[in-house]
Amino acid sequence: VLDGVLDPSRTIQIGIRGSAEYLWEFTYESGMTVVHAEEVTGLGIPAIIEKARKIVGDGPTYISFDVDSIDPAFAPGTGTPEVGGLTTRE
């Protein structure tokens, strides 16, 4: 984002969790969209996919998946063992 390679208005982070909200200030201030892990169940995967498609659009897309978004019950080797992460079904 800082180098102008990524358009923050076309960036969505899904499954963000943890108590350090201050760490996400740059994300919010730059215009990125965040769907917190605790929102995933309420919104549902189909709605999140639809939201992501609207944000990303039809242009080239880069996808990165961080294992830390998964609940440690399903990914015990995660470096961020916080409860409330995504499940294997999600």
CB atoms within 10 A of CB 53: 12
Distance CA 48, CA 41 (A): 10
Distance CA 38, CA 47 (A): 14
Per-residue pLDDT reduced to its tens digit, 24-69: 888 889 999 999 888 999 999 999 999 999 999 998 888 888 888 8
Per-residue pLDDT reduced to its tens digit, 76-85: 988 878 888 8
